[in-house]
């Protein structure tokens, strides 16, 4: 667990975060969800890179790349990105956020996007525009995996919560899946884990696809 104050930001807390999550994964099931995402991508055989949005210290991007996929990590935190660069210097890392404004216009269309526990830090009002941008940067058939802490109350589908590092919102899985569907990213499946001693909230790994 991070023993840190609230809302200090990832730049200040990168070292503590790194120590708290030495493999990137907080549970076995997370690792399996990402492995399934990677398997969908290798089966689909689309050309182009996979973008890890909010890649943090880089472990998950590296794990996916070790499965034979080209992965680029993007993150707004210089300190988190520096840890990723130091650990995996052979990979491509970009400074930027979920809006993808820093992804060059002439980049190859993406074969996939993964965003684990990073969209929680995006103001909910910006989410529809972000998904529209993602769709425009993805190849038809590309897969998108997002992971997030859940709201379990459908009548309050988006709820701010006291994340230890930065301002954050949790989403009801149906609400985030609907936002993605409105942008043309259709749900294929979701995996929801229930709260336990080390997870305060249910957590969802949601897999969507750009169908057309
Ligand atoms: C909880 S960490 C998750 C890191 C990594 N995705 C993983 O699964 O281990 C959240 C990451 O999201 C990044 N982040 C914060 N705001 C973001 C934004 N607006 N767009 C993209 N990433 C953001 C943070 O810098 C941090 O590295």
Predicted confidence (pLDDT) per residue in 164-206, tens digit: 899 999 999 999 999 999 999 999 999 999 999 989 999 999 9
Report residues whose beta carbon is within 6 angstroms of any ligand 1 atom.
10, 24, 53-56, 60, 75-77, 80, 97-98, 116-118, 121-122
- Record the tokens describing residue 136, joined without a space: 């425009």
List of domains in the chain: 8-210 (3.40.50.150)
* Per-residue model confidence as pLDDT tens digits over 112-168: 999 999 999 999 999 999 999 999 999 999 999 999 999 999 999 999 999 989 999
Q: How big is the CA angle at 11 (ends 160 and 82), to the nearest 5 degrees?
A: 130
- Record the tokens describing residue 71, joined without a space: 């992965």
Which of 75, 102, 161 has most ligand 1 atoms within 8 Å of its beta carbon, as the pocket-test mutant? Answer: 75
- What is the DSSP secondary-structure string of 26-41? SSHHHHHHHHHHHHHH
Quick check: pTM over 0.75?
Answer: yes
Rounded to whole angstroms, how far apart are CA atoms 69 and 73? 13
Rounded to whole angstroms, how far apart are CA atoms 119 and 114? 10
Which of 23, 29, 56 has most ligand 1 atoms within 8 Å of its beta carbon, as the pocket-test mutant? Answer: 56
Please give the distance, rounded to the nearest whole angstrom, from the Cα atom of residue 94 to the centre of ligand 1.
13
């Amino acid at each position: 667990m991070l023993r840190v104050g609230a809302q200090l930001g990832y730049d200040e807390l990168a070292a503590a975060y790194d120590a708290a999550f030495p493999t990137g994964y907080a549970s076995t099931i997370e690792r399996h969800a990402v492995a399934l995402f990677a398997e969908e991508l290798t089966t689909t055989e689309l050309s182009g890179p996979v973008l890890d949005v909010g890649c943090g210290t880089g472990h998950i991007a590296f794990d996916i790349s070790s499965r034979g996929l080209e992965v680029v990590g993007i993150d707004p935190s210089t300190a988190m990105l520096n840890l990723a660069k130091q650990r995996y210097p052979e990979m491509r890392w970009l400074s930027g956020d979920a809006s993808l404004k820093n992804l060059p216009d002439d980049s190859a269309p993406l074969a996939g996007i993964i965003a684990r526990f990073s969209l929680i830090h995006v103001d909910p009002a910006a989410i529809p525009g972000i998904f529209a941008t993602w769709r425009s940067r993805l190849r038809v058939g590309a897969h998108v995996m997002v992971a997030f802490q859940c709201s379990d109350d459908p009548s309050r589908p988006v709820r701010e919560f006291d994340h230890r590092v930065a301002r954050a919102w949790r989403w009801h899985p149906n609400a985030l899946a609907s936002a993605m569907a409105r942008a043309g990213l259709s749900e294929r499946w979701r995996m929801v884990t229930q709260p336990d001693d080390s997870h305060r909230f249910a957590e969802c790994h949601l897999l969507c696809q750009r169908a057309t």
